[in-house]
Amino acid sequence: MQADGQGERASDAPEGARSHRFRRGARVLFWLWAALSLGVTSALMMGHTYALPRPSTANRELRAAIARDRGPEDRGRWLVHHFMYSRCRCSQRVVASLVTRGPLPSVRERVVLVGAHPEYEAALHAARFALDVVTPERLKARYRVEAAPLLVVSDPVGEVRYAGGYTERKQGPAVQDVAIVRALMRGQGASELPLFGCAVSRSLQMMLDPLGLKSPSRREDW
């Protein structure tokens, strides 16, 4: 009987070891899954939570590009650039606002649209906005802009006075471009709003979504 008891205890030992290894492996897999889930969630939420990069008002390339856009009829006038992305819902809201209000008096407004969009183009032309349609590569090379929607305001002597967003928060209800332009024209300062919207350049898209978690049709819309 004693021998049988010892045999049972000996047979239980390998079973206990296997159970311990199983529990340890399950814990490791759980923590790996948790870490991966956190990384995926962080990647998907990054563009929705944090402001996107924008050029400085002192950026020489941006100032030079704005100066090249200024025609003879624009001399002595405030110049406003609206950088929009045809595949971005945030840009869509700003385009709708522009079309509804029309160009501001005594101000030259130009819309730089990244990617062709016949509906936007027709509406902006009908509203009498100056319009350029460019590629993402052209946008970055000419203006050093990699995200949209971006508002850039330059004064009559060519100084860039504002380069920032349109709303105080992501998809905020109030588009504030008119208030910003009018404050600057009155000689008042305008705090630059964060840029919430969409990555336009390929490099910025890859930085925000390094794992390629978003589908190609949604990757730009942050």
Tell me: do 95 and 116 sit in the same domain. Answer: yes
Instruction: Specify the pLDDT at position 45.
Output: 44
**One domain for residues 21 and 86:** no
**150 lies in the same domain as 192:** yes
169 shares its domain with 68: yes
Residue 218 lies in a domain: no
The answer as to whether 171 is a domain residue is: yes
User: What separation, in Å, do the N-terminal and C-terminal C-alpha atoms of the chain show?
Assistant: 73
Q: Are residues 72 and 127 in the same domain?
A: yes
Q: Reading across the β-sheet that carries 130-134, which strands appear in turn?
A: 130-134, 107-114, 78-85, 150-154, 160-164
**Do both 102 and 152 map to the same domain?**
yes
Q: Do residues 32 and 67 both lie within one domain?
A: no
Residue 34 is predicted with a pLDDT of: 43
- 132 and 75, same structural domain? yes
Does residue 30 sit in the same domain as residue 67? no
Tens of pLDDT, residue by residue, the chain (222 residues)? 555 555 555 555 566 655 655 566 555 554 444 444 444 334 444 444 568 999 999 999 999 999 999 988 888 899 999 999 999 999 999 999 999 999 999 899 999 999 999 999 999 999 999 999 999 999 999 999 999 999 999 999 999 999 999 998 776 678 999 999 999 999 998 889 999 999 998 888 788 777 665 544 444 444
H/E run at residue 213? none
67 and 11 in a common domain: no
The reply to whether 219 falls in a domain is no
Q: How many domains does the chain have?
A: 2
- DSSP code at position 115: S
Rg (CA), the chain: 27
Residue 14 lies in a domain: yes
State the residue range of the domain holding 15. Answer: 1-49
**pLDDT attached to residue 37:** 41
Q: Is residue 216 part of a domain?
A: no
Helix (H) or strand (E) holding 59: none
Instruction: State the residue for tokens 């008119």.
Output: 178
SS3 54: coil
Q: Tell me if 16 is assigned to some domain.
A: yes
Please report the pLDDT score of residue 7 as a whole number: 53
Residue 177 sits in the same domain as residue 148: yes
The DSSP result for 64-110, as a single string, is HHHHHH--GGGTTSEEEEEEEETT-HHHHHHHHHHHHH-PPTTEEEE
Phi, psi of 75 (to 5 degrees): -65, 135
The domain that holds 168 is classified in CATH as 3.40.30.10
What span, in angstroms and rounded, lies between the C-alpha atoms of 169 and 102? Answer: 24
Secondary structure, 3-state, 145-207? CCEECEEEEECCCCCEEEEECCCCCCCCCCCCHHHHHHHHHCCCCCCCCCECCEECCHHHHHH
Q: How far apart are CA 142 and CA 137, in angstroms?
A: 9
Same domain (yes/no): 100, 170: yes
Nearest alpha carbon to residue 71 among 130, 118, 128? 130
Q: Is residue 11 part of a domain?
A: yes
Predicted pLDDT of residue 58: 94
